[in-house]
């Protein structure tokens, strides 16, 4: 028997604060060498302007295993479809049998938001009150939700190249989070007063100007996941303390870091630490109120394993989902 969990089941089972805790613990295990995480396998589908990724991982401390299959098809929004489709299979580590099959589309947004929540908790100014989000999609929604879960955000700005999407986002998130959410007409408006910036786009060029980033800002950069994609200006990367999710993955896929390295303006030594090291106290986090901190994440499968396992455990306790024979 395997339990099938829909998007609604996952949403009911795992609120953001619990997802943040699960991801935080997973990052600590990853940085401590207590996780087996092969680099994800990517199958490009240029005929349909998409890519499908296969992401397995095993967390040895928690004894949890899962595989995520996630597709990113750039033409989908024009077809009225989600940019990202995903499925997660949780594996019973004692028998190797599939324990659960669940929607991975929402789970991907949830675990990505949770990673930024963990990073914001560890690196952002404690007094942060204003957030800015770039990208009005599903990822942008969980980014703001996660930041609000760990900081007392009073005002948020949303910027998207499609103003109508930004307006819909602002109305929805203001109602959901009871926070004032305003549409920024320009990136400079969004960035200028922000204590925390989240970028969740598929842009191949920086989405704001370095000159607009104020001292003390914390940035979560989660959208660019290939060497060719770049959301953060190279100048901002250079003047920030850079914390990443995983060295191997970041140096293979993070265009926000690889592009300035290829330009010869930075080396990999500029990376300060992995987030798991900061959380565990093995590396320094924010060291002054004026310091700019940057969390660069390309997404690591330990996030999916931790969140999927937590969702399954909660769903079983809440009697959510459907058990089916395979």
Tell me how far apart the alpha carbons of residues 289 and 312 are, in angstroms, rounded to a whole number.
40
Of 68, 79, 241, 296, the active-site residue reads 68
Ranges of beta strands (E only) in 166-250 are 180-183, 196-199, 218-221, 240-244
Is-contact 223 190, C-beta < 8 A?
Answer: no
The first and second tokens of residue 208, run together, are 């704001």
Asked if 173 contacts 144 with a C-beta cutoff of 8 angstroms, the reply is yes
Which tokens go with 281?
């106290």
CB 131 within 8 A of CB 217: no
Tokens at 96, concatenated: 């190797």
DSSP string over 36-64:
E-PPPEEEEEGGGTEEEEEEEEEETTTTE
How many angstroms separate the CA atoms of 132 and 298, rounded?
Answer: 20
d(CA 102, CA 122): 30
Q: Is residue 12 annotated as a catalytic residue, yes or no?
A: no
- Which tokens belong to 284? 């320094």
The catalytic site residues sit at 68
């Amino acid at each position: 028997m395997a339990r099938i969990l829909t998007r609604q089941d996952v949403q009911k089972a795992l609120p953001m604060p619990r997802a943040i805790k699960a991801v935080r613990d997973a990052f600590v295990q990853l940085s401590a060498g207590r996780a087996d995480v092969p680099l994800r396998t990517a199958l490009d589908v240029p005929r349909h302007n998409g890519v499908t990724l296969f992401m397995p991982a095993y967390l040895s401390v928690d004894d949890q295993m899962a595989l995520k299959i996630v597709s990113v098809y750039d033409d989908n929004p024009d077809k009225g479809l989600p940019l990202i489709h995903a499925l997660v299979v949780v594996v019973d580590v004692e028998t190797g049998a599939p324990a659960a099959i669940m929607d991975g589309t929402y789970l991907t947004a949830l675990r990505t938001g949770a990673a930024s929540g963990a990073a914001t908790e560890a690196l952002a100014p404690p007094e942060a009150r204003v957030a800015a989000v770039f990208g009005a999609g599903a990822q942008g929604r969980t980014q703001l939700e996660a930041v609000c879960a760990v900081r007392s955000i009073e005002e948020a700005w949303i910027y998207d190249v499609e103003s109508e999407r930004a307006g819909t986002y602002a109305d929805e998130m203001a109602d959901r989070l009871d926070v004032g959410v305003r549409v920024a007409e320009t990136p400079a408006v969004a960035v200028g007063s922000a204590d925390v910036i989240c970028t969740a786009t598929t842009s191949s060029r920086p989405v704001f100007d370095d000159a607009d980033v104020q001292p003390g800002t914390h940035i979560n950069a989660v959208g660019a996941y290939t060497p060719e994609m770049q959301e953060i200006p190279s100048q901002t990367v250079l003047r920030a303390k850079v914390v990443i999710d995983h060295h191997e993955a970041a140096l293979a896929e993070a265009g926000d870091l690889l592009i300035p390295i290829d330009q010869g303006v930075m080396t990999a030594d500029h990376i300060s630490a992995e987030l798991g090291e900061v959380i565990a106290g093995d590396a320094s986090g924010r060291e002054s109120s004026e310091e700019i901190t940057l969390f660069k994440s390309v997404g690591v499968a330990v996030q999916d394993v931790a969140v999927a396992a937590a969702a399954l455990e909660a769903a079983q306790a809440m009697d959510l989902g459907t058990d089916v024979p395979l």
